[in-house]
């Protein structure tokens, strides 16, 4: 749904919506058994919710499109992931919970290895350890720039975030990363006139970094890409008139939630921690997004049995969400991560919506085969929040 339309329809109400996201939820059959992770797992509580929910599948971005974490979540927050793009640098900054301000310019950084002629021999500097990388980053922080403050923050292995803060900055700077080996790094170049002073600052930074990095092989050079500004998107509170909060342990998901104006609540790593935080903040919010990471991690590791076990861990706790009796409870995923693929995939994602006004259907189990009998069919993930808004009495009638 277009956000202007959503803005016009939404109204306040004394109702609560919970969005519970199992990261990488959907799967594919195990070749040995012919059953998916969800079909294999013993999920009595999720199956019970399925019997009283409207069931179906979400398509995160579009048919055949495998989403990253950003688009997969933005869609569930009601934002069309094809219209609301996040620059690479911003996603990286957001991913480590860096407090990116509206005028900052962020880029993704890689340490790399160059030979004596300056040609790149390894774009990832042999994937140096996170600890070594963090030590090298420390030295980069000391580089002074005229007219801008710099932040260099380690991410993991050879990756870091580079942020410029100051007056008159612009993201109109091309990548220095040639995305190839055997060639030299590119000079920072403005992609339009307004990017020229920023490109000059980036050049100065790299020139000063080079002598410092010279003896840090394999991390003897750096590459920057995806210069971007924090997007100024309409906030969920303004568009949907929801007091929205995120209960997410991983920085990436907190960061994404912040981009759409959610308040992020401190929470421990376990699902029990999430439930505790949910209960403690129940009265303060209308919309609570709870993120569970480990289904995706197991899927990405190609560990079918662990993904089954993680689903069963969720099942053991899920009634705590039901017991809070939200007006709308959505059980969803940001994308599928079939263990047999050990990667994100494009497959539609299991979804169910429990509400007093949910239309009954013949789906009585929470898995990829049973959900085909659901009343919701297969629909764009960006429509999930509008659907929840309707069930929560938070959308006015359209037209008289």
> Considering the rule CB under 8 A, would residue 71 count as an interface residue with its own copies?
yes
d(CA 213, CA 111): 10
Does 180 bind its own copies (CB under 8 A)? Our answer is: no
User: Closest separation between CB of residue 196 and its own copies, Å?
Assistant: 27
* Interaction of residue 390 with its own copies, rule CB under 8 A: yes
Q: Considering the complex, what minimum distance in angstroms separates the CB of residue 108 from its own copies?
A: 9
Q: Which is nearer to its own copies, 88 or 127 (CB)?
A: 88
SS3 readout for 96-112? CCCCCCCCCEEEEEEEE
Q: What's the rounded Cα separation, in Å, for the pair 389 and 3?
A: 13
Smallest separation (angstroms) from its own copies to the CB of 61: 5
Pairing of the two strands 148-156 and 159-166: antiparallel
Size of the site for its own copies (CB under 8 A): 59
User: Is residue 128 helix, strand or coil?
Assistant: coil
> For the range 2-6, what are the long-range contacts, defined as Cβ-Cβ under 8 Å and sequence gap of 24 or more?
3/78, 3/79, 3/234, 3/239, 6/78, 6/239, 6/240, 6/386, 6/389
Residue 288 has phi, psi (to 5 degrees) of -125, 120
Strand order in the sheet with 349-355: 263-264, 244-247, 287-292, 17-22, 328-332, 349-355, 53-59, 377-380
Nearer Cβ to its own copies (20/84): 84
Lookup result for tokens 């969720």: 314
By CB under 8 A, is residue 88 in contact with its own copies? yes
Determine the interface stretch with its own copies among 116-124, 150-158, 173-181, 357-365 (rule: CB under 8 A): 357-365
- Closest approach of its own copies to the CB of residue 378, in Å: 5
Minimum Å gap between C-beta 179 and its own copies is 13
Closest CB to its own copies among residues 205, 395: 395
Interface with its own copies, residue 109, by CB under 8 A = no
Is residue 338 at the binding interface for its own copies, with CB under 8 A as the rule?
yes
**Does residue 282 bind its own copies (CB under 8 A)?**
no
280 binds its own copies (CB under 8 A): no
Residue 81 near its own copies by CB under 8 A:
yes
Query: Tokens 């050049």 identify what position?
Result: 203
| Joined tokens for residue 259 | 């981009």
Among residues 53, 58, 39, the alpha carbon closest in space to that of 328 is found at 53
Inter-residue contact 298 to 339 (CB < 8 Å): yes
> Whole-number minimum distance, CB 68 to its own copies, in Å?
4
Would you count residue 357 as binding its own copies (CB under 8 A)? Answer: yes
306: number of Cβ within 10 Å:
17
CB of 360 to its own copies, least distance (A): 5
Instruction: Looking at residues 7 to 66 of the shown chain, list those that interact with its own copies (rule: CB under 8 A).
Output: 9, 28-29, 34, 36, 61-66
Position 97 contacts its own copies (CB under 8 A): no
Which residues touch 5 (CB under 8 Å, ≥6 apart)? Answer: none
Q: Which is nearer to its own copies, 301 or 362 (CB)?
A: 362
**Which residues lie closer than 8 Å to 357 by C-beta, 6 or more apart?**
391
| Residue 347 binds to its own copies (criterion: CB under 8 A) | yes
* Smallest distance from its own copies to CB 320, Å: 25
In what helix (H) or strand (E) does residue 131 lie, and over which residues does it extend?
helix 130-140
398 binds its own copies (CB under 8 A): yes
Tell me if 211 contacts its own copies by CB under 8 A. no
- Closer Cβ to its own copies, 45 or 108, answer by number: 108
- Which residues of this chain interact with its own copies, rule CB under 8 A? 1, 5, 9, 28-29, 34, 36, 61-72, 81-82, 85-86, 88, 91, 338, 340-341, 344-348, 357, 359-362, 368-369, 372-373, 375, 377-379, 383, 386-391, 395-400
């Amino acid at each position: 749904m277009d956000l202007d339309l959503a803005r016009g329809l939404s109204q306040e109400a004394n109702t609560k919506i919970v969005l519970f996201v199992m990261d990488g939820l959907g799967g594919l059959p195990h070749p040995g058994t012919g059953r998916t992770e969800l079909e294999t797992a013993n999920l009595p509580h999720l199956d019970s919710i399925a019997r009283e929910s409207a069931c179906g599948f979400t398509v995160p971005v579009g048919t055949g499109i495998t989403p990253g974490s950003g688009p997969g979540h933005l869609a569930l927050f009601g934002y069309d992931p094809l219209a609301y793009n996040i620059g690479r640098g911003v996603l990286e900054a957001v991913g480590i919970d860096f407090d990116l301000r509206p005028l900052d310019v962020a880029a993704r950084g890689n340490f790399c290895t160059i030979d004596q002629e300056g040609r790149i021999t390894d774009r990832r500097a042999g994937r140096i350890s996170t600890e070594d990388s963090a030590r090298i980053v420390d030295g980069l922080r000391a580089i002074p720039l005229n007219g801008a403050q710099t932040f260099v923050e380690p991410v993991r292995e050879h990756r870091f975030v580079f942020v410029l803060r100051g007056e008159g900055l612009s993201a109109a700077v091309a990548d220095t990363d040639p995305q190839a080996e055997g060639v030299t790094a590119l000079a920072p170049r403005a992609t339009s006139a307004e990017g020229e002073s920023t490109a000059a600052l980036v050049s100065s930074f790299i020139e000063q970094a080079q002598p410092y990095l010279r003896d840090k092989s394999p991390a003897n050079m750096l590459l920057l890409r995806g210069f971007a500004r924090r997007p100024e998107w309409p906030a969920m509170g303004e568009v949907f008139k929801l007091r929205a909060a995120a209960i997410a342990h991983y920085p990436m998901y907190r960061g994404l939630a912040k981009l759409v104006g959610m308040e992020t609540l401190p929470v421990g790593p376990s699902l029990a921690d999430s439930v505790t935080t949910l209960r403690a903040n129940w009265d303060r919010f209308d919309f609570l997004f709870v993120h569970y990471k480990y289904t995706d991690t197991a899927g990405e590791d190609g560990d079918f049995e662990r993904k089954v076990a993680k689903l069963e861990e969720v099942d053991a706790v899920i009634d705590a969400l039901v017991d809070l009796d939200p007006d709308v409870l959505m059980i969803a995923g940001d994308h599928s991560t079939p263990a047999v693929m050990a990667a994100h995939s494009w497959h539609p994602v299991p979804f169910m919506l429990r509400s007093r006004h949910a239309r009954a259907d013949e789906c009585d189990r929470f898995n990829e085969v049973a959900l085909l009998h659901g009343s919701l069919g297969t629909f764009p993930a960006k429509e999930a929040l509008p659907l929840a808004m309707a069930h929560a009495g938070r959308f006015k009638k359209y037209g008289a």
